[in-house]
Amino acid sequence: MNQADISKLVSKLKINIKPRHRNLKNPEGPEGRLDKLRKTVTGLIKHERIELNYNRADEARGYTERLISEAIRYGDRHKPTMEMANYWLEEKQLIHKLFKVLVPRFENYTVSYTRMFKAPSSYPNACLPRAVLELRGNPFPPLNNNWSNNKNLLHNVLLDAARRDFRKEQYEKLSQSLTDEQNAKQNPTS
């Protein structure tokens, strides 16, 4: 049977998205919710790193991933993709950035196009969790430094000391067993 490959019909996103949207409260109703998400997606494409509430960041991440994946898949000659980009990007010069800068950057990516980190909350008004949402490959310094190879961190110093003590014990056991064998060969007791 000739059946269509379903993976070719619908592009697969590289992040998990919940089937139901988050219930982001807005006094203007659903239109206000979409306006906030459009502003968030526009800000993310423009600045490539933004800090905002965790719920809105998580919701906007899915729309940004979908926008970039459709732009990569169909390009700027596809009318529905251009309409989608026109809807989600409020500043129209960012459509050019999407197709001329971001699509070539993300063409060969096998991972998601965005990253989201939990941000520390300010203590007095710590009511909503904060997040940092960023596009991969942005020109800013990385948010998560890899400190695991730093030999001066406390846990690395302790592990090194434990490793030295363990090897010292092993060498002492080995040398003791070798001296016992040599003594047994030199002084055979029969």
* Nearest-angstrom CA–CA distance, 99 and 94: 9
User: Residue 114's pLDDT is what?
Assistant: 94
**pLDDT tens track for 140-175:** 988 877 766 778 888 888 999 999 999 999 999 999
**pLDDT tens track for 72-83:** 999 999 999 999
Q: Across the chain, what does the average pLDDT equal?
A: 86
Taking 80 as the threshold, does the pLDDT of residue 36 lie above it? yes
Taking 60 as the threshold, does the pLDDT of residue 10 lie above it? no
**Lowest-confidence pick of 14-28, 43-57, 138-152, 156-170:** 14-28
Residues recorded for the chain: 190
**pLDDT tens track for 79-107:** 999 999 999 999 999 999 999 999 999 99
CATH for 10-133 (3.90.1030.10, 3.40.50.1820, 3.90.1420.10, 3.10.20.30):
3.90.1030.10
**pLDDT tens track for 105-146:** 999 998 999 999 998 877 776 678 889 999 999 999 888 777
User: Residue 103's pLDDT is what?
Assistant: 95
Domain range list for the chain: 10-133, 144-189
Name the residue among 75, 58, 71 with its Cα closest to residue 21: 58
* Nearest-angstrom CA–CA distance, 157 and 160: 5
Taking 70 as the threshold, does the pLDDT of residue 2 lie above it? no
62-78 residues labelled b (16+ CB within 10 A) or e (exposed) = bbbbbbbbbbbeeeeee
User: What pTM was computed for the model?
Assistant: 0.70
* Nearest-angstrom CA–CA distance, 189 and 180: 13
H or E segment and range at residue 65: helix 54-74
User: Residue 73's pLDDT is what?
Assistant: 92
User: Residue 11's pLDDT is what?
Assistant: 63
